[in-house]
Amino acid sequence: FATFPGEPKWWKTHLTYRIVNYTLDLPRKVVDSAIEKALRVWEAVTPLTFSRLDEGEADIMILFAVGGHGDFFPFDGPGNTLAHAYPPGRGFKGDAHFDDDEQWTEDKSGINIFLVAAHELGHSLGLSHSRDAEALMFPVYNPSTDLAHFRLSQDDVAGIQSLYGPPTVSPEEPTLPTERPPAGPETPAMCDPELSFDAISTLRGEKLFFKDRHFWRISYQIPEPEFHLISSFWPSLPSGVDAAYEVTSKDTVFIFKGNQFWAIRGNEAQAGYPKDIHTLGFPSTVRKIDAAISDAEKKKTYFFVEDKYWRFDEQKQSMEPGFPRQTADDFPGVDPKVDAVLEAFGFLYFFSGPSQLEFDPNAKQVTRALKSNSWFNC
């Protein structure tokens, strides 16, 4: 089995779905029951439950269309592509589209609606294609599937349970002693009031909060933080990073750990990295960077090292003379021990342990003290 890059999955176990329109090939109630049956296939092996909406935005919007239909993947007439679906997420993510140039049938005389729906909903829940020819998630439609005794393959079950685990045991059934999920640094709780961060950066309008092996990502479209392994996006990056910042003019995020730094552009780690931080102009006495932020307007990047900071000229690509300077001299009120820095709404946010200070760079003063994880709407 395979999941999608970054392993997107639903952050909740109860999902809504809506059948937006219908094919004329079948009575509506046949389509309704095929979709319900397809959802029950996945419900039976996960903690997920589904309820139907008849209007408004559901997590999984199901529609029939021909040719171009508003996304970047037009259908291709009869045969070849039968349907497609998007991995979990907000908006069009999670949706499933069926090519109405196919002959949709309840049996196998045409393209069986239940079988394709069960496959596409596997995508809507986060499974990509399987190489196992017996698996439901194998990409090629298998007209010889035994519909009367349909069962998910072991590969399908292993795949979906790698995302959501097995069904929760209902209270009346005997509960087996379950392993408590590993506590401790493995899975930091995002609303822990003592939560601190290793590094924070923007990335194409999103904000990334790094912690140990993981990072949270938030953006306007996805107010609820998504939690990912760093390695699931950038396998070459280390865990426990020290600093990170985005140079928007280069569409690049630079990530620092120890005396090395990496460059990433979207999902792609850039070739030629890691490089040594001393190539930026730091003296050999500097062993690591604590935090960094880049000012897109001024084209300057600020590196915070212990209680001092350096300024780097992004245009000349060199460290500016007259540095390092004492952080406290130019950012009065800011704790000299800086874990991370973020710029937003014209303010600078200095993170130190579980606290962050909002700093007004024009008034040159701290304006607010907040919890470090205040960005997660806990």
Least distance to other proteins, CB of residue 220, Å:
23
CA distance 39 to 51: 10
Rounded CA-CA distance 351/341 in Å is 6
Which listed residue (15, 45, 62, 116) binds other proteins by CB under 8 A?
116
Q: How far is CA 181 from CA 10, 165, 232, 293, in A?
A: 19, 12, 20, 35
Name the active-site residue from 102, 120, 343, 358.
120
Half-sphere exposure of 368 (CA within 13 A, CB side): 8
227 near other proteins, judged by CB under 8 A: no
Instruction: Select 128 or 162, whichever has its Cβ closest to other proteins.
Output: 128
Q: Least separation, in Å, of the C-beta of 360 and other proteins? A: 42
Distance CA 21, CA 169 (A): 35
* Closest separation in Å from C-beta 368 to other proteins: 41
226 flagged as catalytic? no
Q: Which of residues 131-160 bind other proteins (CB under 8 A)?
A: 131, 133, 139-141
Residue 347 binds to other proteins (criterion: CB under 8 A): no
Q: Contacting other proteins (CB under 8 A), which of 17, 22, 50, 75?
A: 75
Beta bridge pairs of residue 336? none
Measuring CA to CA, how many Å separate 79 from each of 76, 96, 98, 210, 316?
A: 8, 18, 12, 46, 57
Structure tokens belonging to residue 237: 């990056």
Q: Which of 27, 77, 79, 166 binds other proteins (CB under 8 A)?
A: 79
Nearest Cα to Cα of residue 111 among 122, 121, 101, 124: 101
Among 37, 52, 84, 371, binds other proteins (CB under 8 A): 84
Among 123, 214, 257, 311, binds other proteins (CB under 8 A): 123
The catalytic residue positions are 120
Residues at the interface with other proteins (CB under 8 A): 4-5, 73, 75, 79-85, 87, 99, 102, 111, 116, 119-120, 123, 128-129, 131, 133, 139-141
